[in-house]
């Protein structure tokens, strides 16, 4: 993979450590900076501290679900300024309309392929929500 010409700052949010590590490696290999959170509550803490360009968000997590994170972002628009939210989930396709209403920019299936993410970021591919 070739590095990104303009590195973005990502927040990867997934309670599954193996999946989170895979997503982090994919993002880093694309040449972007990445932080990670193991659940929605930690994601909210990270979003309150710094701004991100892209958040890869799982939906099914303990303590605070991905949908709870999306609702928090709606109540705290200063933390959401400019962040592109991409849900990465094995079952979100049936919830695309509701997720779009909550501010999700795209939905990608698990397991995520690096090429899918690259194409989405470059605007060459349609996501499930497009």
| pLDDT tens digit sequence for 116-128 | 888 888 775 444 4
More confident residue, 31 or 1: 31
Superfamily, domain 9-118: Response regulator (3.40.50.2300)
Query: Residue 4 half-sphere exposure, CB side, CA atoms within 13 Å?
Result: 19
Beta-carbon count within 10 A of 35 CB: 19
Per-residue pLDDT, averaged over 4-30, amounts to: 90
Per-residue pLDDT, averaged over 24-43, amounts to: 95
pTM: predicted TM-score of the whole model, two decimal places: 0.86
**pLDDT classification of 109: cutoffs 50, 70, 90:** confident
Beta-carbon count within 10 A of 86 CB: 22
Task: Look at residues 40, 34, 31 and name the one whose alpha carbon lies nearest to residue 13.
Answer: 40
Coil, helix or strand for 107? strand
Beta strands in the chain (DSSP E): 9-13, 33-37, 54-57, 84-88, 106-108
């Amino acid at each position: 993979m070739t590095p990104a010409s303009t590195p973005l700052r990502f927040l990867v949010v997934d309670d599954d450590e193996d999946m989170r590590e895979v997503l982090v490696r994919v993002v880093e290999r694309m040449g972007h900076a990445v932080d990670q959170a193991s659940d929605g509550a930690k994601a909210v803490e990270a979003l309150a501290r710094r701004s991100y360009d892209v958040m890869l968000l799982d939906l099914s997590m303990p303590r605070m679900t991905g949908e709870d994170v999306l609702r928090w972002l709606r109540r705290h628009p200063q933390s959401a300024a400019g962040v592109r939210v991409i849900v990465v989930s094995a079952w979100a396709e049936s919830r695309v309309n509701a997720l779009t209403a909550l501010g999700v920019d795209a939905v990608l299936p698990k397991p995520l392929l690096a090429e899918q993410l690259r194409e989405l970021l470059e605007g060459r591919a349609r996501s499930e929500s497009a």
